[in-house]
Structure 1
Amino acid sequence: MRHIAFAAALAFALAGCAEDTPAEPPATRYSPDRYQQAITDIGRLDDLASDAQRLPGELLAFAQVDRGEVVGDYIMGGGYVTRLLAIAVGRQGKVYAFQPDEFIAADAQYATDQDQTVRRYTDAQGTELNVFALRGPLADPGWPEPLDTIITVMNFHDLYRDTVPAGTPDAVSRMLFDSLKPGGVLVVVDHQAADDAGVDAAQSLHRMDRNLAMTALTEAGFLLEAESDLYARPEDPRTASVFDEGLRKRSDQFAWRLRRPQ
């Protein structure tokens, strides 16, 4: 009994000390080391070969992802970001992994990738635990609740391709804004086009004219909070397709953290 009482007193004292300790500044709290559990998770073994180039800890730190958050992976692709978020938000958090109908119609592998990723985070009965699959049109993912954070990586340029309806970039930007809680965060990473390359760069080079993207997002109401050079590749002339030999996975990319005002 004495040991129990001592332990309780110690816990109370430590709790009091924690309350008196100044909160860590955001730059300290959101460091890549904070996300080691997510990075080294066994469900990501197939992703490790890409980590040196995709910098998962740095991405999560830039996005300022917290445990318990409700997060959307907008256009999840092969599921790399979804698998990171699944552990980063913890069991009390949720990840909505969205795959557009338009992508699945063009290539059924997108549906397979989504199914395989979400299956890793289900129980023995196949019930989704904290990762939930969503499918729908690009501008209407059907998020079932407001989100703390949305991340979209190397996909924003696809909104400008001629295979999607006119007006899609503006419609998606408004949807992303409306889908976040007040104060919520949108992280956008994409292949960077040459300055003033325009819409054609999205179609022919799979690159995003940053001015076009920023205009769509700020007109929707977003405020740019931070820009990172995590994926800067100054040697990339930004005039060739990102799939060209020697350039694939080495393109110059911008990374933005935008916020919906409170």
Structure 2
Amino acid sequence: MRAYRRKSWEMTMIKRLAAGAAVLALATGLSACIIVSSDGGSRTVVKSAEDYALMVDQAAADAEPAGFGDLYREAISDPKRPAEEVARDPLRHPAEILAFAQVAPGDKVADIRPGAGYFTRLFSDVVGPTGRVYAFVPERTMARENAGADALVAAYSNVTRVNGLLDSMTYAEPLDMIFMSQEYHDFHIPGFNTDVAKMNAAVFAALKPGGRYILIDHEAAPGTGISAVQTLHRIEGDYLKREVEAAGFIYEDESTAVANPADDHSLNVFDEKIRGKTDQFVYRFRKPG
């Protein structure tokens, strides 16, 4: 049965990625190939959507915790995912991120500033009917971002929108995971009026003992700390690590799924020369207990 489901998944992904690759090609000027980051961050060219589908399958099989690889594959192949999000899969490595984050059925998770819902949709499918995904939209940005979160709520019965202050966020129940993708650096920008130390303390309080804090962000040059958060939208990973550990978290592991050593950290992340291909760190922290 597992072999049949995997083959079915591969064929579904081949069809969806073929369409998605066309979207990616239009957006980035690619032709028939897809550019991905291999383990360790070097750039790799995959010649077809079929090759990429098999790469995702292998990534899920290699890294899945407790046999959840099939759930990850099913989430990635969910037909409700927009084509433009599927087209970004080769750059965002969803199978590796789901596995690294250890997302499991029944988990209660928060996705901070979910945007269009790239990860919210994946989390919703994996945690299933016994789980819950809280799409947290800060009060500071809810006027323009609540509509996107409400669309996710309408499409997925286990998604709930939450508004609040980042530095005093609370949820209806203790959480297994809090997730931020490419957002943490923004909260150091003065316009967000956020006390990041208090935010990390609020995350700590919201998690169950043993809960996971997953952070993905654009790497800045060594020694720059938070000096480039507004100019380049980057943050030094080591600086972030120290901040999170100061809140009581234990640094557990790092993934290189979206690393890119060819990025010299000098460009704004929205610069077309590097957009979508920045060097990113993925950290997993854990609340003791």
Q: Output the TM-score relative to the length of structure 1.
A: 0.82
Alpha-carbon distance between aligned partners in 2 of 1:191 and 1:221, rounded to the nearest angstrom: 23
Q: Which residue of structure 2 lines up, in the alignment, with residue 222 of structure 1?
A: 249
Unmatched tracts of structure 1, length 5 or more:
1-24, 122-128
Contact 1:228 1:254 in 2 (8 A): yes
Equivalent residue for 1:42, pick from 76, 79, 95: 79
CA shift in 2, pair 1:89/1:27, >3 Å? closer
Question: Partners in 1 of 2:63 and 2:97 — Cα distance?
Answer: 15
Q: Deviations over 1:134-192 (max 9, x none)?
A: 111122333111101111100010111121236x1101111111110001111100000
What are the residue-to-residue correspondences of 1:170-189 with 2, within 5 Å? 170-189=197-216
| Partner residue in 1 for 2:165 | 137
CA distance in 1, matches of 2:96, 2:173: 27
The C-alpha deviation readout for 1:65-120, integer Å capped at 9, x for no partner, is 11011111122122111111010101111111111111235xx1x22211212210
Assess, with a 3 A threshold, how the Cα gap between structure 1 residues 66 and 31 changes in structure 2: closer, same or farther: closer
Distance 2:282 2:226 in 1: 19
Question: What is the Cα-based RMSD across aligned positions, in Å?
Answer: 1.8
Aligned to 1:91: 129
| 1:119 and 2:154 aligned | yes
Aligned partner of residue 148 in structure 1, secondary structure: strand
Cα distance, 1:34 vs structure 2: 4.3
Matches within 5 A, 1:235-254: 235-254=262-281
The answer on whether the counterparts of 2:170 and 2:202 sit within 8 Å (CA) in structure 1 is: no
Distance 1:171 1:193 in 2: 23
Inter-partner Cα distance in structure 2 for 1:205 and 1:30: 39
Deviates more, 1:207-216 or 1:30-39: 30-39
- Separation in 1 of the partners of 2:277 and 2:126? 26
| Superposed counterparts of 1:1-262, under 5 Å | 29=66, 32-46=69-83, 47-105=85-143, 108=144, 110-121=145-156, 129-165=157-193, 168-262=195-289
SS in 1 for 2:230: helix
> Which residue is equivalent to 2:32?
none
- TM-score (normalizing by structure 2): 0.74
Match of 2:14 in 1: none
- Name the aligned partner's letter for residue 159 of structure 1: F
Report percent identity of matched pairs.
37
Distance 2:67 2:82 in 1: 24
Once residues 142 and 218 of structure 1 are traced to their aligned partners in structure 2, the CA distance between those partners, rounded to angstroms, is 20
CA contact (8 A) 1:192 1:252 kept: yes
Deviation, 1:200, is: 2.1
Could you list the runs of 5+ residues in structure 2 that have no partner in the other structure?
1-61
Q: Following TM superposition, by how much is the alpha carbon of 1:29 offset from its aligned partner in structure 2, in angstroms?
A: 2.9
Paired residue secondary structure (2:162): strand
Kindly tell me the number of residue pairs found equivalent between the two proteins: 227
In structure 2, relative to structure 1, the CA distance for the partners of 1:28 and 1:101 (3 Å cut) is closer
Contact 1:68 1:89 in 2 (8 A): yes
Name the aligned partner's letter for residue 197 of structure 2.
Answer: D
The structure having more radius of gyration, on CA atoms, is 1
How many angstroms does 1:31 deviate by?
Answer: 6.5
Matched residue type, 1:194: A
- 2:71 touches 2:126 (CA, 8 Å); kept in 1? no
Deviating above 2 A after TM superposition, structure 1's stretches of 4 or more consecutive aligned residues are 25-34
